[in-house]
Homo-oligomer: A and B are copies of this chain.
């Protein structure tokens, strides 16, 4: 009998999906604790050390430009994000963290680490290093 894909792979993929849901649950929870949606949390994380145009953000997140408009509108009203016209392209708009946004993103990040730590701590140090290496291999090179 032919097998297209090994059983290990199917179980691995199940485990990846379940892990993804567990991690997302934590991110959603931390978001909720700070009145941030998952997407807003993500935007703030991305802008932590970058300043990006609306379109670049939309592309990175896989969203439409019009969706970004609403997302940034709401975060701007709360004083977390700012908009500024691009210096080099009259059509473009740069988005960045305000000081209040920067003040929020640090504690939020630490809270995520705090909540995910118990999961990670079920593994021994050597296993953690292996897991990290394997995940990083799967993810490929990071953003510049």
Contact = CB atoms under 8 A, between A and B. Distances in A.
A122 interface: yes
Contacts of A20: 19-20, 23-24, 27
A31 to B, nearest CB: 12
Contact of A134 (B123, B137, B140): B123
A27 B12 CA distance: 15
Interface in A85-108: none
Interface residues of A, number: 45
Interface string A8-28: 111111011111111111011
A16 B129 CA distance: 12
Q: What's the number of copies of this chain in the assembled complex?
A: 2
Interface stretch (A66-74, A76-84, A111-119): A111-119
A128 interface: yes
A55 to B, nearest CB: 18
A130 interface: yes
Interface of A: 5-6, 8-13, 15-25, 27-28, 42, 62, 112-113, 116-117, 119-120, 122-123, 125, 127-132, 134-140
